[in-house]
C-alpha cells in the first residue's frame, strides 16, 4: 500500500514474471545503474529500495524482486499482498513468458489489491531480431486488462526509469502537478523526471 507522511510516499512494489524475463536486471538497472549479461537466477526474493525525490515530496519504492522459478510460486502472495504497485515482466523473445505474464495478471486480479497500479513490461526490447511477441499484441492485451504497458531493456536502459516514474505518477497520492518543475532521481541528478507533489 502507498503510505504518506510529511509529503513522503512509501510504496511497496513487486516484480512478477517468468524466470529469465529480466526482473532482477530491471531492478538493478533502476537502483544501481548496472547490467550483467549473466545475472543469477533469484532464489526466493530480493529486496531493494530506491527513492525518487520530488520538489516537495518523495516516493520511496520498497521493491520486492520475486523469483520466477515455478517452485517459488507459492511465496508470491507474501510479496504482492499489500503492494501498491506491480510490474509484470515478460521477455519479448519468448511467447511462453508472455503467457506466464497473463497468468500473473489473472492471479493479481483475483488475489491482489484492486487499486494496485499494475504495469506490463515487455523486456529485452534490444533483441528486436529475436522478437516473438509483437508490440501490438501486448499493447492490446494491456489495454483490455487495465494495465499500462512499456517495452523496456535492462541492457540498454530504455524505458527503465520511465516505467518506475509512470508508476510513481499513477500512485493514488501522486497527482499531476499544475506546474511540474521536475523530479530528480537521487543517484542520478542528470535524469530529471517530472512528477507532482503528493496529496498529503
Ligand atoms: N539482451 C538482454 N538481456 C537481458 C535483459 N534483461 C535481462 N537480460 C538477461 O536475461 C537473463 C535473465 O535475467 P534476470 O534479470 O536474471 O531474470 P529474472 O526475471 O530475474 O529471472 P529469475 O530470477 O530466475 O526469475 C540474464 O542473463 C540477463 O543478462 C535485456 O533487457 N536485454
Ligand atoms: Mg531474478
- The region of weakest confidence among 67-71, 152-156, 193-197 is 193-197
- Give the alpha-carbon dihedral of 21, 80, 120, 163, to 10 degrees: -100
189 in a domain, yes or no?
A: no
Pocket test for ligand 1, best of 24, 38, 79, 162 (most atoms within 8 A of CB): 24
Structure pTM?
0.88
Of the candidates 14, 164, 10, 13, the one whose C-alpha atom is nearest the C-alpha of residue 75 is 14
- Better pLDDT: 51 or 2: 51
Model confidence pLDDT, tens digit, residues 48-70: 999 987 667 799 999 999 999 99
Does residue 157's CB lie within 6 angstroms of at least one atom of ligand 1?
Answer: no
The pLDDT-based confidence of 8 (bands split at 50, 70, 90) is confident
128 in a domain, yes or no?
A: yes
Q: How many domains does the chain have?
A: 1
Does residue 112's CB lie within 6 angstroms of at least one atom of ligand 1?
Answer: no
Ligand 1 atom closest to Cα of 36? 29
43 in a domain, yes or no?
A: yes
165 in a domain, yes or no?
A: yes
178 in a domain, yes or no?
A: no
The three three-digit cell numbers of residue 180, written as one number: 511540474
- Domain harbouring 121, CATH code: 3.40.50.300
What phi and psi values does residue 13 have, to the nearest 5 degrees?
A: -125, 135
Tell me how far the alpha carbon of residue 20 lies from the centroid of ligand 2, in angstroms: 7
- What is the average pLDDT value for the chain, to the nearest integer? 87
Does residue 97's CB lie within 6 angstroms of at least one atom of ligand 1?
Answer: no
Of the candidates 171, 173, 149, 172, the one whose C-alpha atom is nearest the C-alpha of residue 162 is 149
What phi and psi values does residue 191 have, to the nearest 5 degrees?
A: -95, 95
Model confidence pLDDT, tens digit, residues 121-147: 999 999 999 999 999 999 999 999 999
Contact partners, residue 91, CB within 8 Å, separation at least 6: 18, 20, 21, 22, 97, 98, 122, 123, 124
Does residue 101's CB lie within 6 angstroms of at least one atom of ligand 1?
Answer: no
Amino acid at each position: 500500500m502507498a503510505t504518506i507522511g510529511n509529503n513522503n510516499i512509501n510504496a511497496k512494489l513487486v516484480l512478477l514474471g517468468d524466470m529469465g524475463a529480466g526482473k532482477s536486471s530491471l531492478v538493478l538497472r533502476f537502483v544501481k545503474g548496472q547490467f550483467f549479461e549473466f545475472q543469477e537466477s533469484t532464489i526466493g526474493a530480493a529486496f531493494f529500495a530506491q527513492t525518487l525525490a520530488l520538489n516537495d515530496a518523495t516516493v520511496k519504492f520498497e521493491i520486492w524482486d520475486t523469483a520466477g522459478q515455478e517452485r517459488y510460486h507459492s511465496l508470491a502472495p507474501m510479496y504482492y499482498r499489500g503492494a501498491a504497485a506491480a510490474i509484470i515482466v515478460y521477455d519479448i523473445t519468448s511467447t511462453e513468458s508472455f503467457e506466464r505474464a497473463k497468468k500473473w495478471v489473472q492471479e493479481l486480479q483475483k488475489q491482489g489489491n484492486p487499486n494496485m497500479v499494475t504495469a506490463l513490461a515487455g523486456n529485452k526490447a534490444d533483441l528486436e531480431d529475436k522478437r516473438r511477441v509483437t508490440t501490438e499484441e501486448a499493447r492490446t492485451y494491456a489495454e483490455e486488462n487495465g494495465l499500462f504497458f512499456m517495452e523496456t531493456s535492462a541492457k540498454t536502459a530504455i524505458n527503465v526509469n520511465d516505467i518506475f516514474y509512470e508508476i510513481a505518477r499513477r500512485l493514488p497520492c501522486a497527482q499531476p502537478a499544475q506546474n511540474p518543475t521536475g523530479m530528480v532521481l537521487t543517484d542520478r541528478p542528470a535524469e530529471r523526471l517530472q512528477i507532482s507533489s503528493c496529496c498529503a
